[in-house]
C-alpha cells in the first residue's frame, strides 16, 4: 500500500484490500495490468519523507559488544558520536536498540553531566531490569536528566518474551507492554516509537498511526543477522509505512 498509494493513509489500506479482492474476480486480469501502472505513477510522483528538522538517526557498527560493554570508555565513545552527529545545533540524536545497556541512576547521571551546556537530546535503546525480568526501552536524555521514554510493546517471542513465565514461576524474560505507549513526546514532537521486531508486526505501527504522530522513530540491533537481509527488510518496511501515512522517518541500527 505504501508503494502503490503513498500519502493516502487509511484510505489506501482500504483501496489495497479492494484490489486484492478484485484479483480473484472476473476483472482480475484488468487489475493485474493496472497495478504496474500504479507502481510507475508512484515511482514518478512519490517523494521520500524528509527527516524532522533537527533530528539525526545514527547507525553504529559495534556488533555484539553494543550494550554489553558497560565500560566508561564505551560511554565516552558514544558521547563523542553524539556530539559529532549533533554539531552545534539544537538536535535530537537517535541511537540504536540496546546502546546504553542497563539503564541505571549512575548512567543517567553520567550522560546528564556530559550533555551540560548543549541543546542536545539523546534517544537511545536500553534495558530496565528488576527482580523478575526486564523491559526493552527507549530512554530520552538531555542536560536536565534522563527518563524512560518508551517500553517495547512486542519483544521477540520466545527469545525475549516468554509469557509462560508467569505460570512456571521462571524469571528473566522481557515484558510485553502490548498496547501501552503507542506514541510518546520528546523535544516537543509526538513520535511513534518502534523497537526492532515491532517493525515486522502489523498492529504496533497501526496502533501508533491512530494517534497521528509527527514522526516514526525506529531503532534496532542487527549484528546477529550478518550475511542476511533482515535489516534491509525492516528498512524497506519502515519506508513503506512512512510513505503510506506521509510521516517522516528516523532510523538507527547497530550492525
The full set of domain ranges for the chain reads: 9-45, 55-254
pLDDT of residue 144: 95
Taking only the tens place, the pLDDT of each residue in 192-207 is 999 999 988 999 999 9
pLDDT of residue 101: 96
247: left (phi over 0), alpha (psi -120 to 50) or beta: beta
Q: For domain 55-254, which architecture applies?
A: 4-Layer Sandwich (3.60)
pLDDT of residue 25: 87
Give the pairing type, strands 120-129 and 91-94.
Answer: parallel
pLDDT of residue 26: 84
pLDDT of residue 36: 79
Contact in structure between 244 and 205 (CB atoms under 8 Å): no
CA distances from 26 to 23, 30, 31, 32, 255 (A): 8, 9, 10, 11, 48
pLDDT < 50 regions, the chain: none
196 contacts: CB under 8 Å, gap ≥ 6: 97, 156, 219, 220, 221, 222, 234
Q: What is the pTM of this model?
A: 0.85
Amino acid at each position: 500500500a505504501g508503494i502503490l498509494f503513498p500519502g493516502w493513509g487509511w484510505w489506501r489500506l482500504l483501496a489495497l484490500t479492494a484490489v486484492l479482492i478484485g484479483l480473484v474476480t472476473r476483472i482480475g486480469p484488468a487489475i493485474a495490468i493496472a497495478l504496474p501502472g500504479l507502481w510507475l505513477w508512484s515511482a514518478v510522483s512519490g517523494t521520500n519523507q524528509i527527516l524532522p528538522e533537527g533530528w539525526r538517526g545514527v547507525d553504529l557498527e559495534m556488533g555484539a559488544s553494543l550494550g554489553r560493554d558497560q565500560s566508561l570508555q564505551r560511554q565516552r565513545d558514544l558521547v563523542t558520536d553524539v556530539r559529532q552527529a549533533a554539531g552545534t545545533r539544537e538536535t535530537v540524536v537517535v541511537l540504536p536498540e540496546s546502546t546504553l545497556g542497563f539503564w541505571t541512576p549512575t548512567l543517567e547521571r553520567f550522560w546528564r553531566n556530559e550533555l551540560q551546556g548543549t541543546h542536545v537530546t539523546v534517544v537511545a535503546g536500553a534495558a530496565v531490569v528488576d527482580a523478575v525480568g526486564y523491559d526493552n526501552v527507549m530512554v530520552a536524555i538531555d542536560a536536565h536528566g534522563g527518563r524512560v521514554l518508551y517500553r517495547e510493546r512486542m519483544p521477540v517471542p520466545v527469545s525475549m518474551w516468554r509469557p509462560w513465565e508467569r505460570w512456571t514461576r521462571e524469571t528473566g524474560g522481557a515484558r510485553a507492554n502490548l498496547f501501552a505507549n503507542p506514541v510518546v513526546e520528546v523535544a516537543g514532537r509526538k513520535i511513534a516509537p518502534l523497537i526492532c521486531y515491532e517493525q515486522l508486526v502489523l498492529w504496533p505501527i497501526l496502533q501508533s498511526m491512530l494517534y497521528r504522530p509527527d514522526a516514526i522513530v525506529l531503532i534496532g540491533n542487527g549484528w546477529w543477522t550478518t550475511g542476511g537481509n533482515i535489516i534491509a527488510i525492516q528498512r524497506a518496511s519502515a519506508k513503506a509505512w512512512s510513505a503510506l501515512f506521509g510521516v517522516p522517518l528516523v532510523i538507527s541500527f547497530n550492525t
